[in-house]
Amino acid sequence: MHACALGKRVIFRFMLHPWWVCCAFVLLMPLANGQELQLPTVFRIGQYESSYQLLLRKHAATLIEVVDNDLEQAYRVWQNVLLDIEEEAAVEEVDFDGVRLYLNVFWTAEGRIAHIAYFIKPNSKRIADEEVVGVLSKVIGTQTIRSNAGQAFVHFGTASFPIASIPRPVEHQSTDKRP
């Protein structure tokens, strides 16, 4: 018998054992069920790459698309998110002045913030990841768009704190926190 044929026989017998099937099922189950369930609501960009890719696929629309290409409305929504972050930093007594971030904000179809991915820019003031996560996690669940978007969406942006802005009018303020 040839070595190649013997190798095929051993591999075939090995594959028929039930323990192999169970191991393969357990190892591949997270891929089949979607890894997004293992994704924290606030995370650093680059930490959960495969789950992040799944999250991007689920949030195919962008903020500008959801507001019908109205640049002013999209800017107001984004500015409100940044102001909410700044306000939460003040409440948590975290000094965000000088902090610069890349932010990917993921909304539900109902207009509530579901996930925030962040990365501290190289030219940012030094700040611990735990402090950034603590502040950003307080913004999770905030409803920034009053109307139903009809689909989950995302916005990729940057932020430099403090935010230089005029006070926001009452009709454009973010609504309540978590439902």
User: At residue 156, what are phi and psi to the nearest 5 degrees?
Assistant: -105, 120
- Sheet strand arrangement including 100-107: 42-44, 113-120, 100-107, 153-160, 61-62
Quote the CA–CA distance of 74 and 89 in Å, as a whole number. Answer: 23
The parent domain of residue 139 ranges over 37-172
Domain total in the chain: 2
How high is the pLDDT of residue 134?
A: 95
How high is the pLDDT of residue 143?
A: 79
pLDDT tens per residue across span 125-144: 999 999 999 999 999 988 77
Three-state SS annotation for 90-108: HHCCCCCCCCEEEEEEEEC
Do 50 and 91 share a structural domain?
yes
SS3 of residue 62 by DSSP = strand
Contact 108, 59 (CB under 8 A): no
User: Does residue 177 belong to any structural domain of this protein?
Assistant: no
Do 11 and 98 share a structural domain?
no
Check pLDDT > 80 for residue 46: yes
What tokens appear for 90 in the block?
Answer: 């003040």
How high is the pLDDT of residue 126?
A: 95
User: Does residue 12 belong to any structural domain of this protein?
Assistant: yes
Contact 150, 109 (CB under 8 A): yes
